[in-house]
Amino acid sequence: MSRLWQPVKAGHQRKDAQRLMCVCVFMGGESLRAAGTCQARRLSLWPPAVDYNRPPLTPHSGNNNIMNSLLRVLVPALSLPLSSLLAGNALAQNFDAPAGWTMPRTEYGHPNLQGYWGNQTQTPMERPADLADKPVYSEEEARALEQRLRDQLNGAATVLDPDRPAPEAGARVGQEAEAENTDVEVGFTRINGQYRTSLVVDPADGRFPFRDDNGRTRDIYGQWRAQGFGEFDGPEIRPAGERCLSAIGTMPPMALLPYNSNVQIVQNQDYVMILGEMVHDARIIRLNGEHQPEHVKTWFGDSIGHWEGDTLVVHTTHFRPEISNFRIVSSGELQVDERYTLVNDREILYRYTVTDPQIYKQPYSVEMLLHRMEPHEKMYEFACHEGNYSMEIILRGARQQEHDERLRQAGTP
């Protein structure tokens, strides 16, 4: 949604106004009780709004994986697990450097990482359990899946029934409205000529090494729930992303989302700044510095970096425990090590390792490619607070339910 909109098929007009829809629908939308808003129709290409205190969206969970319903139609003949894809916007990438390519450098001699970058990919973060021993797709498998998805997208219906009924009371309200008009393209992450089946590369099975279940009982929100607090008791127990306090996709590490998955990098001799489109936060990395005192906890943690040859190496610690979210389940013990390597004029090889002994049995590592946005593509302001009426509605609805329950117990009609 963050890019200049391109038609997927003839007549598939794109409207900038729809960029605003995501702000109010995504933020806490799953918790809203259906009240006559958008209704599921056709095959959903966009993830439903997420309650971040629930288990994360993973291919093996009971949640509706983003691409499952579509791929049930597309790929039955390929004998590939339907849960192996996630929605995204990027063409398959590879970090081949052209012959004679010279590393662009700043006036300080460092690799020039500056510019606008994104990572939209069909490759899921975790590898589906039934692909545990299959780290890569063959090119034939990947291309066949891409083509079938492309064919389905080109034939997608675009007209809503104006007489459709409201969702049933209690039904999940998702993001189907803008799903029809978003710029979904196709492609897998391709590194060293291999089409990856997951972005997680270590452990070898490509899965998060949680200590138990999905780690959600061990983070701060799980601890609060265990103490008897309800998930709608107040804004403090709602996740940081839902409160517009931090960007889920661009916090360290950059476990980017399927949309608004763009960042701007600016650097000088002493600092690197990463501005995320999602929630529009700016992250400052101090070069050749020392960490702040341990008791100083921040939403993005404390990041210091240095250059190892042509690779920017960043270590981040001292996170607030409330930063735990459905992409990176974490505690106050979270530490992140990142490596940024410009491999050609259009791609950065981005590697990171997450260490959190409270949540995970061992560290895990991820590899992905950041691709340079086209000159005509832009980052847009993400007016999160301005459009986040869902937070107020969620809490008002919870208070109303509590009031109704008190009246019921008192026997008041």
Q: Provide mean pLDDT across the span 163-168.
A: 84
Residues 209-255 have pLDDT tens digits of: 999 878 899 999 999 999 999 999 999 999 888 888 887 667 888 87
What is the phi/psi pair of residue 140, to 5°?
A: -65, -45
* pLDDT bucket at 22, cuts 50 / 70 / 90: very low
Mean of pLDDT over the chain: 76
pLDDT at 139 over 60: yes
The sign of the CA dihedral 68, 74, 76, 81 is negative
Give the rounded percent of residues in the chain with a pLDDT score beyond 70: 70
Model-level pTM?
0.74
Structure tokens at 238: 């709602």
Structure tokens at 15: 């409207």
pLDDT at 150 over 50: yes
pLDDT at 176: 56
Contacts of 290-294 with CB under 8 Å at 24 or more apart are 291/317, 291/318, 292/318, 294/318
CB 345 within 8 A of CB 91: no
CB 360 within 8 A of CB 114: no
Residues 95-104 have pLDDT tens digits of: 567 788 999 9
Distance (Å, rounded) from C-alpha 412 to C-alpha 251?
48
Structural domain boundaries of the chain?
16-410
Distance (Å, rounded) from C-alpha 199 to C-alpha 117?
17
Distance (Å, rounded) from C-alpha 181 to C-alpha 3?
12
